[in-house]
Structure 1
Amino acid sequence: MRIARRDDWKTEQMPSASTNITVEKFYSQEEFDRITAGVIPEQMEDKWFIFYEAPWLYLHRSWTGFCIFKVRFQVLGESVKIVEVQVNRDPAEYSNTDNERDASMLKILLDSRAKRDVRNQMFGYIKGESSN
Structure 2
Amino acid sequence: MPPASRDDWNTLEPPEVREPLDYSASFDIRRERQLSAGLIPECMEDKWFIYRDGDWLYFHRSWTGALIYRLKLDFDAQSVFVTESWVNRESEQYSSTDTAYDRALVDYLIRGLLLKEQVPFPRPKMPGIRGLLFKLAGKAMMFQHSIVGSSNVPTHTVDDSNGG
TM-score scaled by structure 1?
0.90
SS at match of 1:49: strand
Which residue does the alignment assign to 2:158? 123
Task: Determine the C-alpha separation between the residues in 1 that align with 2:32 and 2:119.
Answer: 16
Task: Determine the C-alpha separation between the residues in 2 that align with 1:66 and 1:87.
Answer: 11
Task: Determine the C-alpha separation between the residues in 2 that align with 1:114 and 1:84.
Answer: 20
Which residue does the alignment assign to 1:27? 27
Q: Are the aligned partners of 1:32 and 1:114 in contact in 2 as well (CA < 8 Å)?
A: no
Deviation at 1:116, TM superposition (A): 2.2
Task: Determine the C-alpha separation between the residues in 1 that align with 2:161 and 2:90.
Answer: 22
Q: How does 1:34-113 map to 2 (within 5 A)?
A: 34-112=34-112, 113=114
Which residue does the alignment assign to 2:2? 2
SS at match of 2:158: helix
Deviation at 1:128, TM superposition (A): 6.7
Gaps of 5+ in 2: 123-156
Deviation at 1:77, TM superposition (A): 3.0
Which residue does the alignment assign to 2:143? none
Which residue does the alignment assign to 2:15? 15
Q: Whose RCO is larger (CA < 8 A, sep 6+)?
A: 1
- Deviation string 1:68-104 (CA, Å, 9 cap, x unpaired) is 0001011133001110111000000000011100000
Kindly tell me the number of residue pairs found equivalent between the two proteins: 128
- Deviation string 1:37-79 (CA, Å, 9 cap, x unpaired) is 1111010000000111111010000000000000101113300
Structure 1 stretches of 4+ moved >6 Å = none
Gaps of 5+ in 1: none
What amino acid is aligned across from residue 72 of structure 1 in structure 2?
Answer: K
